[in-house]
Amino acid sequence: METAKLIEGYPGYEVTRDGKIISRVKYANGKIRKTHVNHLGYEKVVLVAPDLRRVTESVHRLVAIAFVPNPMGLPEVDHLDGVKTNNLPSNFEWVTHKENLRRARVRLGNWSASVGVKTRKPVIATDATTGVETVWASGRAFALATGNPHRAANVSKAIQTGGLSYGSHWRFARPEDRPTIVAFDDPRILPLKNQPACDEPRPPMTQEELAAMDRRHLTESDCRRAKQAQP
């Protein structure tokens, strides 16, 4: 078995460079622990703490703590290629919380880095009947666009549990997503990669325009309008 390092705070557990978690608590030769991928796409493992509590840990953090130097004591680990299950040390960099959020927005291709708004996570609704995928700027954006701000909580719960909400399955958007519809409830959201390419974000829109754009496809004319509006 390849070289492994002890996991801090968990006597009897080791982690390898490729993200294998080994238990030697009851197994002299070591046994590889099973992992699972959570609803956010991160690989997780359950370990038993010294006080016998069962604790769920992120595999990428265990690997980073063991194999990636962190001289500045930064709090979060960034997946450089954006693939949350690629848990090799070469794919990690220690970053601040703010930098981690900024990089996530850039990878998703949804937000202009110069907007300067509060961070929101784009969500995708997959219609349970038709399979049509619609991306929204956030769960709250969907709730406001459909006239009931309380719906955001139900969307959040559906993402966590994998259940249905308003006839759709919900999840956070990923860089590789190719949704069918972009819901422009917010003029600052940019098209995802499968939509006609616009070099610049859409210009700010009036409240009347926003109200009329509950759900629609991004067309080539939208792109021309965005470009023509640029000074």
Position 199 scores a pLDDT of 37
- Of 3-12, 59-68, 156-165, 180-189, least confident by mean pLDDT is 180-189
Q: What pLDDT score does 118 carry?
A: 46
CA distance 5 to 115: 43
Question: Among residues 90, 99, 91, which one has the least CA distance to residue 72?
Answer: 99
pLDDT of residue 106: 66
- Which domains are seen in the chain, by residue range? 4-70 (3.90.75.20), 113-228 (no CATH)
Can you name the residues that pair with 186 across neighbouring β-strands? none
DSSP lists the bridge partners of residue 45 as 35, 57
With bands split at pLDDT 50, 70 and 90, how would you rate the model's confidence at 201? very low
Task: Decide if 126 contacts 169 (C-beta within 8 A).
Answer: yes
CB 94 within 8 A of CB 113: no
Q: Identify the band that residue 63 occupies on the pLDDT scale cut at 50, 70 and 90.
A: very high
Mean pLDDT for the stretch of residues 140-167: 84
Span 94-117, mean pLDDT? 64
DSSP 116: -
d(CA 57, CA 30): 19
Write out pLDDT tens, residues 155-176: 888 998 888 998 899 988 876 6
Report the range out of 2-11, 15-24, 117-126 with the highest average pLDDT: 15-24
Q: Which two tokens stand for residue 189?
A: 């959201």
Supply the pTM of this predicted model: 0.51
Percent of the chain with pLDDT over 90: 34
Which pLDDT does position 26 carry in this prediction?
Answer: 82
Mean pLDDT is lowest, of 7-21, 153-167, 206-220, for 206-220
Residues with Cβ within 8 Å of 44's Cβ and at least 6 positions away in sequence, in order, are 35, 36, 37, 38, 56, 57, 58, 59
Classify burial at 158, counting beta carbons within 10 Å of its beta carbon; exposed 0-12, middle 13-18, buried 19 or more. buried
